[in-house]
Amino acid sequence: GGTQVVSDQLVVRITAEAGKTFLDRMIALVEGASRQKTPNEIALNILLAGLTIIFLIVVATLVPLARYAGSPVTIVTLIALLITLIPTTIGGLLSAIGIAGMDRLVQRNVLAMSGRAVEAAGDVDILLLDKTGTITYGNRMASEFVPAAGVRPDEMAAAALRASLADETPEGKSIVALAEEQGLRADRGLLAGAEFIPFTAETRMSGIKLDGHATMKGAADAINRVAPMPADLQEAVRTISAAGGTPLVVAEDDRAIGVIALKDTVKPGLRERFDEMRAMGIRTIMITGDNPLTARTIADEAGVDDFVAEAKPEDKIRIIREEQEGGRLVAMTGDGTNDAPALAQADVGVAMNTGTSAAKEAGNMVDLDSDPAKLIDIVTIGKQLLMTRGSLTTFSIANDVAKYFAILPAIFAGAYAADATSGGGGALSALNVMRLTSPESAILAAIIFNALIIVVLIPLALRGVAYQPIGAAALLRRNLLVYGLGGLVAPFVGIKLIDLLLTAVGLA
């Protein structure tokens, strides 16, 4: 994550006091960051707590009701009823659902630090992206050769290629690659008889001398001192600079023949992926410390919805908090130490694997492929996790309600027991719709079913409910029809079968 000096030398002057450095500021911001609970997490906690309280009240009120009906219940019966009623099914499956979501991310080369991070991804409204290293490669790459008036494009490209043959910097290699893309061949044999002129901070240019002729490339003002630039090249330099690029002027001896445009290249395929995010309702915002003109150029090329220019680390975390205060869930992707506070504050902080250790520690996910468009896969998996949990929660609630009515006759055994003298049924005999063998077998069957249903549902929790981009109303109808109805029917069928089995083996 540091700076590598590839040529010349670097002089460092310390200007900050101990405890007031950039890293100290980042540490303070990270320590002050905190992730909020997601709306789904809050709703599920309230639901489970509410159901538990309701069923506690139901069990507690059965004591006076049973006495009034002439069928006092035992403590063992009440405990058994409470165990079967409280939402243990979904409680037992939540961990499996979260682990399965994390596993699906691992299959896509994304490491999630918790199931909560995967869940939050399913509800993301806004994605903030750092520019350098996330949207762009972070290295200035050659994008265009601009020849001077009267110079052929292939002549200009050949000169740029010669000046860069011995240049091992990322910029030099990108110039060679661009020339080769235009049909030129990099003949390394030329270097045998050539003198390589390295870049230095004083000259600010590099190149080679071959057969008494020098081919150089470098900063515009440095080249202009040895090879005055014509007006058209000066205009090209200004145009490239205004667009956020870096111009390198190429000269042969004392004649400037063209300009190489270097720019921080946008990673391919991002525009299409951002279009997909837009269709999913996710707004993308690029955050960069660059000037507004450069930021706008990169933002337009990448296809993001908005951008924030000249942003400091404090601005990033401020923007995230403002969006969160508005009730929105925010995802952040970044790779630098200056991104760490924002990654720690975001609901979903995706650090690039090529980033610094601070960024990866602050985020709750690490993308091993360093692909910001991977968030689409992350969001899809998050939505699948939420749909799976919603479906199984629907089943669990219906299941708990059905179990109550399935074993209720056992609570009032004395009231509905058959009258031996009259041959009729008791006052509440109609409640025993399942015709369970005995109160004891009913309770035992319910306890066994309560344990088995969790085991049966684990494969579904791990596989997940197939994600479909449908509306909330359609999703609710499907859950009620499939999982709600299934949750109502399953206890009656399951408890009856277990009761028959217990009777067959003589345990009832």
Q: What pLDDT shows up at residue 422?
A: 43
Q: Is 142 exposed, middle or buried (0-12, 13-18, 19+ CB in 10 A)?
A: buried
Distance of CA 11 to the CA centre of its chain: 39
Of 8, 123, 125, 130, which is the active-site residue? 130
Domains and CATH numbers, the chain: 33-103+379-505 (no CATH), 123-135+267-368 (3.40.50.1000), 139-265 (3.40.1110.10)
Q: Fill in the amino acid letter for 336.
A: G
Q: How far apart are CA 483 and CA 342, in angstroms?
A: 39
Chain centroid to Cα 195, Å, comes to: 50
Token code pair at residue 467: 């994600």
Q: What is the distance, to the nearest Å, from the Cα of residue 392 to the centroid of all Cα atoms in its chain?
A: 23
Q: What integer pLDDT is reported at residue 428 of this predicted model? A: 52
pTM of the entire structure? Answer: 0.66
For the question of residue 130 being annotated catalytic, the response is yes
Tokens of 160: 């740029």
Helix ranges, 122-197 (H): 153-164, 170-181
| Backbone Cα Rg of the chain | 35
* Contact status, residue 484 vs residue 398, Cβ threshold 8 Å: yes
Q: Nearest-CA neighbor of 406 among 484, 503, 502, 492?
A: 492
Separation of alpha carbons 295 and 283, rounded Å: 17
Mean pLDDT by groups of 10 residues along the chain of 508 residues: 69 71 58 64 82 84 75 76 81 85 90 85 87 78 90 90 85 90 79 80 84 88 90 90 83 91 84 85 85 81 88 85 89 84 88 86 89 83 88 86 73 51 49 70 84 89 80 76 87 87 81
User: Measured between alpha carbons, how far is 215 from 155 in angstroms, rounded to an integer?
Assistant: 12
Is the four-CA dihedral 342, 345, 350, 352 of positive or negative sign?
Answer: positive
